[in-house]
Amino acid sequence: MEIKIVSDVKNIECDVLVAGMFEKEKTFSDFVNEYVIEKDKFEGKFGETYLIQTFGKLPARKVLVLGLGKKEELNTDKLREAVAKATKKAMSIKAEKVAFLLENIGFDYSKQFVYGTMIADYVFDKYKSEKKTTHIKEVYVAANENEVNKGIKIVSAMNFARNLANEPAQFATPAELAATACDLGLETKIYSKEECEQMGMGAFLAVGQGSTREPKFIHMKYTCNNPKKRIAIIGKGITFDSGGLDLKPASSMLTMKDDMSGAACILGVMSVIKEFNPNIEVHGLIAACENMPSGSSYKPGDILTAKNGKTIEVDNTDAEGRLTLADALCYACELKVDEVIDLATLTGACMVALGTHASGIMGNNDELVKNVIKTGKENGETYWELPMFDDYFDSLKSDIADMKNTGSRWGGASTAGKFLEKFVTPETKWAHLDIAGTAFLEKPQKEFIAGATGAGVRTLLNYIIEQ
């Protein structure tokens, strides 16, 4: 899809002209108004569409009237959803050239327009022998060129992440994630199992020891002259999660290729970061491994020692993500960065609490947490702050180690947050994003098809480039 900026959308010769219409108002064309509104009583309610042939009365062969609902109720989220719906409709009728006429919106819709069209245009059909989806080749719109170009780069990073998370675990292995990182043109270091042992990453290595695939610790670095801030972003990189010896039920394993969605997000962000050239030093970190059952697997009751020397009693081998993040957080803090943000498909408890429409967020710095929430909201990602009361750590207390890796099932997302906090130095600002419910959809939702969503990419990239 190529998005072209034009000043006069109405006179573009195209397959479909998408005309936004507010409820009870009229469109730009008397011809369209006569047939769509006066004769067929189309009201322009939000999300409704009406397709009409123009028979040569307009430069466009067809007009798709897109209901935007009540003008006073339109916001960026609704606009993005409506644009995505129109895009999918245009794809379904095999339109190749599509123009969008969006008048009197009341806010700069440029970046949200790109999000809506390009997210809707995505499909993962790499393994289909017959490719059935028809993509739109050209899109015309009157918009802010700088914001459009920014949006295009951000969605390309999202698609990069979505492609990785949609890949089967047989392809997206720890070694493949490491190779992908090395191809991004950044300063990159891949630590081997032996090197991780030398660094004392006992928690991370324990999770991966049941697999025949060697774990990889990935460190990517973007830097600039005199950066005004140094940030580390960490993504959970479990390339397949069987649950280990505490084996998941078969039905719960079906989508566990997506347990590296946090890592995919980090790779997506780092894939385009040089194009934005932010005055921020950014470290992208991934502790990549598989959690598999075998004779060499770590076991319930084992005592692990993390990089900072804290000991962990293994209560459940299916609470593995927090163990890999523990060592990654220690590593990040040793870099003496100003802020650390981690993303992880961490807890089913967060998914139960917030569903698929919002991610959980918590941390040790209120300003950082609030800024991430604000950035997400402005870019179509919702984060809900969860509490981090000290009482949540009570159920993690162990009689024989500094802590257990799981506690009570009640308040599980916050309990996991309190576990991670033990591996963050007090002087480091830290936020934890639990994307368990938002990273992978089992059915289409708003602008997304089923599958990986690239959760976190929009938020992290915009947070970094807007510093």
DSSP letters along 251-304, please?
A: HHHTTGGGGGHHHHHHHHHHHHHHHH--SSEEEEEEEEEEE--STT---TT-EE
171, 179 contact by CB (below 8 A): no
Told to judge if 322 belongs to the known catalytic residues of this protein, a careful annotator would answer yes
Q: How many angstroms separate the CA atoms of 189 and 325, rounded?
A: 18
251, 139 contact by CB (below 8 A): no
Q: Which of 26, 78, 248, 370 is catalytic?
A: 248
Furthest CA-CA distance within the chain:
80
Tokens representing 174 are 């720890």
Q: How many angstroms separate the CA atoms of 170 and 176, rounded?
A: 10
Cα dist. 281→13, 243, 274, 458 in Å?
46, 35, 11, 18
Helix, strand and coil content of the chain, in percent to the nearest 5, comes to 35, 20, 40
SS3 343: strand
> Torsion angle of alpha carbons 446, 452, 456, 461, nearest 10°?
-100
Q: Which of 322, 404, 429, 458 is catalytic?
A: 322
419, 405 contact by CB (below 8 A): yes
- 168-207 as b/e, with b when 16 or more CB fall inside 10 Å? ebeebbbebbbebbeebebebebbebeebeebbbbbbbbb
Q: How many angstroms separate the CA atoms of 223 and 96, rounded?
A: 40
Q: How many angstroms separate the CA atoms of 348 and 316, rounded?
A: 14
Residue 221 — left, alpha, or beta (φ > 0 → left; ψ -120 to 50 → alpha)?
Answer: beta
Tokens representing 141 are 């719109």
Active site residues: 248, 322
